[in-house]
Each structure stands twice: as structure tokens, then as C-alpha cells.
Chain A
Amino acid sequence: MMLLRKIEERLRPGSVFWLLPGMLVLPIFTLASLFEEDNLPNAFQSVSTSAILWIPCLVLIAIISGKFRPIHTAYATVLFALYDSLRTREIIYDMVLKVIDLGGNPNWITLGAMVLPAVILFVVTIWRATLFRVVILVSALAQIATLTLFHTLTVIGPISVASETEKEFVEQYLEARGEIESLCGIQSRSCFSGSPDGLAEKFSASHLNPHSTVKLLQDRAGKGPALFTWTESAFAETADEAMRHITVHIDESDRALVMINEEAPTRSFGQMKIAFSILAGVFQQTWVTLSLLILWRHGDYTWIKGRWRRS
């Protein structure tokens, strides 16, 4: 411990240059993602699912240490690099999956990694409030609030509208024309027809998230005409994740038609990912810059007996 302290003292932990790793982590990570990923939405998604964890890394340091020193931003960057390069999210996801069903979505781990440290920091701040903890707590809460808002407005809202539109379109097309087969091949809609059980068996072997389709076909087999349309993620666990509208139509003669429209919703989803990631990235950079500048100037204050005092 003494040795570590000595090494740290030699590194001049109060130097303003230590703020740079924190301020530059997002631009550098974004550039790296753009070079690494083969398409723009995935590059931006990589930023929004990983880089946003830099603030939670600083939250962990604020929990341990009440007084801010610029070298803490370098520690947070190292923590973040370890988290990202060791694929910690996937490891935690696999562990949690044994206990809780996360619906095939590893983004719950990212959310948990943001919320849990913020809650602990909140408790620690109540116990002993330093300016470092207060500022980082505000940043963490602002990040959670803005990301939730952005996600609702740029991703959830448009997906709900697209899903509603497709549902209405298919329903009314069936009502007006008496069939939906003429939509097959349009906008890259692919169709599969046959008996419900036969189709269920065929889809079970598919790698494209077949659970809902298979379950629905099995449940509705032999129960008369039905029409279901919904929107779901095609492969939630991979970087190439995509959205698709699925329609299952079973007619009077118990013949089922499954229509999958993947191209159009995936294109929209790509745009949503870009929009969300840009907004998330820009606001994270703002919070980080603002917080670090405040902490650099006032990082050693502690709230004692109703007043801020310099340690």
C-alpha cells in the first residue's frame, strides 16, 4: 500500500494533465469503434453500450475516495478499459442468466452497472458528503435520467409506432383482400406456409430468435383462424441485432402463414441507434467535461456542520 502511495506521489496526481484521459476517452473510443465495426449503427451502438460506463467507473472511485485528485480520472479510464476489454458485461450476463431471465437482452447489465453504483454512492454521500461525491452523483443521475429519456423518445417510441403501423396495415390488408400472401416478397418480406406444427418444428431449428413464433404456432394449432402481428429483436445478443415485424396468419383450413419483414424495421432501428448514441455521447461528454472542470477547481471540499470546508 505504501509502495502504491509512493508511486502515485511520483506521478504528480494533482496535475491537470490527468484530466485528459477522462475528457478524451469518449472521442477516442468513438474513433476506435468507427474503425472496428463494419457498419455505422453498430459502431455507434458500441459507443452507447460501452463508453457510457466511464461515469460509473468514476462513481466507484468516488465511493472509495471522498477527495478528488485528477489522477482519479486515469484510474476510472483504466477500470473502464478493463471492463470493456475483458468482456465483463458478457461474463456478468452469463452469471446472472442462471438466476434471472433477462429476456435475451444484455443491456440490462449495462443499466444495472449504472444504477447500482449510483445507489451506493447516494448512500455513501448521505453518510459523508464531499464535493467529489456530490458532483459525481449528480453526473451519474443526470446520465441515467437523460439516457432513459433519450431511449424512450428515440428508440421505444418509434418502435412502438412502427409496430402499430405494421399491425394495422396487415390487419386491414387482410380485411380488404382476404389474404396477405400477395405481400410476400414486397420490401423483402419472406413468407413460410404449412401446418402450424410443421412450421413450429421448422422454426425451432432457426438461429433467429424463434421462441415467440414457435410458441404461438404451437398454442394456436387446431384452434381456428387467427392473426397476430408483433415486432421483436431478431438477435438480441449480438452486435448485428436487428428488428423484425412478424405476422402469423392461420386460416379456416388450419393452414398457417408466417411473414417476416426484417429489412424495413432494421433500417429504422439502425437510424434509431445512431440517434440515441449521438445524443447519449454528446451529453456524456458534456457531463464529464463539466464535472471534471468543477472537481479540478473544487475537488477537496467536504460538507461539515452545514458548510463546505476545504480538507
Chain B
Amino acid sequence: MQTDILFMNQKTKTTGGAKSADNVLWLGAPLLAIPFLAIGASLEAEGMANIVRSLSDSVLVLIPAICLAAAFLGHLTTRKAAIAVGVAVVLDTAGLRHLMLEVTRGWLHDSHNPSWVTVALVLFAAAAVGGSLLHKATLSRVICGMMCGAQIVVLTAFHQLLVISPIQAEEAREIALVSGLVEQRGDFSSLCDVAGRACWVGSPEGVASEVKERVSHPEGIVRLLEDTLDRPVLLHSWTEMILPSTDAEGLMNVSILKTTQDRALVMVDIEGPSRVLDTAKQAFGVLAVAFHQAWITLGLLIIWRHRNLYYRGGRWRTEG
């Protein structure tokens, strides 16, 4: 009889503990994380494009955090999800992504863009959930696997359609403008000082040293001028990133024309393409944030309602 009472007490205690770990109020933390991060980003960054960019950078780590928790713990409770999201927000705010980028630079990559750390984290989380699903298919892991897959597919599509394509269109537009002028008038100097375009003209060595001083991220221009010293005629026009992942991040259109071996004309346009990049960043950020909020809300609500289910022998069963 005493053993029975003891057992019942233990059972009640366990059920009570499980209930508290699955209390719906814990959902508040992951569901409100994005609005909270939005307030943080608006206080920290300047300009709408940078606010959205900063927010989307932070938001992208939330799904990997929840997925890693599901991969290692098997079943997610609302409390565990809240802790996972809380830890992710704190680490991201503390600059873990930048730290990881610094630590791995040199031996693993040569990039200055912390977005690569996010990409690595997203892929690692997807692989972890995939691996853990093979071991034991719990409902939490299935849902998280779908969230990871959706995140990868949606972000790739958004990035391609909203960022890469407009940048390519901008590059094609500038190339057509510059080459059209060269074809018709022999050079593009009539564009200098128009809509923020800066030009340098002179000997290739002189222009290279001037560009080095005046342009942020001049490596591509300088290298091209040095590599083509022996070429009398050339026209190159391209678009590249400057200061990636900073508040001053932008794009620049570069055009280089040589009509004789000792005369080079270099034109750099930062204003126009940076405006295109700003719009692209805003579009990508808004969609990424909106869909993360949707996936996280939907995923965690399903996990909360169906908790500790797992799939074995062709059926969903309840754990314990």
C-alpha cells in the first residue's frame, strides 16, 4: 500500500514536472524572439536596409538552434525550445558568429563575411537533424527536419530571386551603358561626375596608386591595371561588393578603359548600385523574417500539441 502511494506520488511529480516543461507560456519566448530582435536591430543599426539586414542575420540562427536542440534531446518541450532560442539570441548578440569567422579564417577560409558562418550553421543543423532522424524518428525531429529543409530551400530561392538577379541586372545595365558610349564616342568620360560616378585618368600605375588611396576595396581594380600593363587596348566593366557585412556595405560598378598603353580611365560608381543592393537587402530581409516567424510559430505549435510522439514499426507511439 505504501509502495503504491509512493509510486503514485512519484508519478504525479513527474507528470507535474513534464507539464511545467510543456507550459504554453514558454512558447512566448521563441514566438516573441523575432519582434524582440527587431527592436534590438532598430536601436543598433542605421537606415532601414541595415536594420532589416541586421534582423535577418540574427533571425536565421533561430531555426538551427531549435533543430540542434531537437537533434540532441530527441523530444522538444516548450521550455527546451525557449532555452534553445534564448541561448541562440544571447550568443548571436555577443558576436559568436564574428568570433567563429575570425577563429576559422586563414586555415578554413579567407572570407570577412559572417553570413558564411550562418550558412555553415544552417547546414550543420540540417545534417544533425537528418542524422538523428535515422537513429530515432521523434515528431520533434521530423518537424525540425522540415523546418531546416524549408529554411534552406526558401532562403536559397529568395536570395537568388531577390538579391543575385537584381545585382546581375544592374551589372548588365552598366556594361551596356559603358560599352555603348565607348562604341559611339570612343570613351565613357562623359559619364564622369554624373550620378556620383568618380573617375581617374592617367598612366595605369598612377591611376592604380590613386585608386588605392581613394576607393575602399580597390584590390580588383589595382590587380587588373597591374596585370594588363602590357596591353594597349582594353575595356572591362564589372560589379563587386565593398565592405561586406558592415553598415557601409555596398556595391560598386567599375569600368576600366585603356585606349593606349600609357593612358587608363577608371570609373567607379557606388551610389547607383548600392541603392539597388539596399532594396534587394530589404526585400530579402523582410521575406526571410516573415517566413521564419511563420515556420517557427507553426512548427512549435505542432510540437507543443503532439509532444513526445515517435515513429516505430509503421506507427506513431507516445513515449513513456
A161 near B162: Cβ-Cβ < 8 Å: no
Query: Any chain A CB within 8 A of the CB of B117?
Result: no
How many angstroms between the C-alpha atoms of A117 and B185 in the bound complex?
A: 58
Q: Determine the chain A residues whose CB is within 8 A of the CB of B276 once the complex forms.
A: 158, 161, 165
User: Most chain-A CB neighbours within 10 Å: which of B169, B177, B184, B290?
Assistant: B169
B-side interface mostly:
helix
Contact with A along B179-218 (1 / 0, CB 8 A): 0110011000011011100000000000000000000000
**18 A-B pairs, CB-CB below 8 angstroms?**
A149-B290, A153-B287, A157-B279, A157-B282, A158-B276, A161-B276, A165-B275, A176-B194, A186-B177, A186-B181, A186-B184, A187-B180, A264-B173, A264-B176, A275-B161, A275-B165, A278-B161, A279-B161
Q: How many A-B residue pairs have CB under 8 A?
A: 78
Q: Determine the chain B residues whose CB is within 8 A of the CB of A172 once the complex forms.
A: 193-195
How many angstroms between the C-alpha atoms of A172 and B166 in the bound complex?
A: 24
How many angstroms between the C-alpha atoms of A168 and B161 in the bound complex?
A: 26
B162 near A275: Cβ-Cβ < 8 Å: yes
Question: In the complex, what residue of chain B is closest to A277 when comparing beta carbons?
Answer: B161
Q: Determine the chain B residues whose CB is within 8 A of the CB of A164 once the complex forms.
A: 275
CB distance from B299 to the nearest CB of A (A): 13
Partner pick for A153 among B162, B185, B195, B272, CB 8 A cutoff: B162
What residues make up the interface of A, taking CB atoms closer than 8 Å to B? Answer: 149-150, 153-154, 157-158, 161, 164-165, 168-169, 172-173, 176-177, 182, 185-187, 263-264, 267-268, 271, 274-275, 278-279, 282
B176 near A169: Cβ-Cβ < 8 Å: no
A153 near B283: Cβ-Cβ < 8 Å: yes
Contact with A along B238-260 (1 / 0, CB 8 A): 00000000000000000000000
A187 near B173: Cβ-Cβ < 8 Å: yes
CB distance from B146 to the nearest CB of A (A): 12
B176 near A187: Cβ-Cβ < 8 Å: yes
Question: In the complex, what residue of chain A is closest to B182 when comparing beta carbons?
Answer: A186
Contact with A along B55-83 (1 / 0, CB 8 A): 00000000000000000000000000000
Given contacts A173-B190, A274-B165, 19 further A-B contacts (CB under 8 A): A153-B282, A153-B283, A157-B282, A157-B283, A165-B195, A165-B272, A169-B195, A173-B194, A176-B190, A176-B193, A176-B194, A182-B185, A186-B177, A187-B176, A263-B176, A267-B169, A268-B166, A268-B169, A271-B168
Partner pick for A169 among B157, B158, B194, B287, CB 8 A cutoff: B194
CB distance from A143 to the nearest CB of B (A): 14
Question: In the complex, what residue of chain A is closest to B290 when comparing beta carbons?
Answer: A149
How many angstroms between the C-alpha atoms of A261 and B290 in the bound complex?
A: 36
Q: Determine the chain A residues whose CB is within 8 A of the CB of B195 once the complex forms.
A: 165, 168-169, 172-173
Q: Determine the chain A residues whose CB is within 8 A of the CB of B176 once the complex forms.
A: 187, 263-264
B190 near A182: Cβ-Cβ < 8 Å: yes
